Amino acid sequence: MNYRHSFHAGNSADVVKHSVLIALVRALQQKQGALTLIDTHAGSGLYDLGGEQAQRTGEAAHGVLRMFADPNAAFDDYRAIVRAVNVGAEPRLYPGSPQVLAQLVRPQDVLILNEKHPEDADVLRGVMRATGAAVHQRDAYELWLAMLPTRTGRGVVLVDPPYEQTDERARVTATLAAAHRKWAHGVTVIWYPLKDRATHQRWKAHLRQLRIAKFMSIEHWLYDADQPGIYNGSGLFIINPPYAFTQGLPPLLEALRGALAPEGHRGTITADWLDGQG
Distance, CA of 124 to CA of 96 (rounded, Å): 10
Active site residue 160: yes
* Pairwise CA distance, residues 240 & 235, whole Å: 16
Which residue of the set 14, 39, 120, 160 is catalytic?
Answer: 160
Encoded amino acid at 176, one letter: L
User: What residues pair up with 191 in beta bridges, in sequence order?
Assistant: 236
E-strand ranges in 71-214 read: 93-95, 110-114, 134-136, 154-159, 187-194
CA distances to 75, 234, 259 from 262, rounded to whole Å, are 18, 14, 9
Residues 6+ apart with CB under 8 A from 135: 42, 113, 114, 115, 121, 124, 125, 128
Taking each helix axis from N to C terminus, what angle separates 168-182 and 197-208, rounded to the nearest 10 degrees?
30
Strand pairing of 268-273 and 215-221? antiparallel
- Cα Dmax for the chain: 49
Show which residues are catalytic: 160
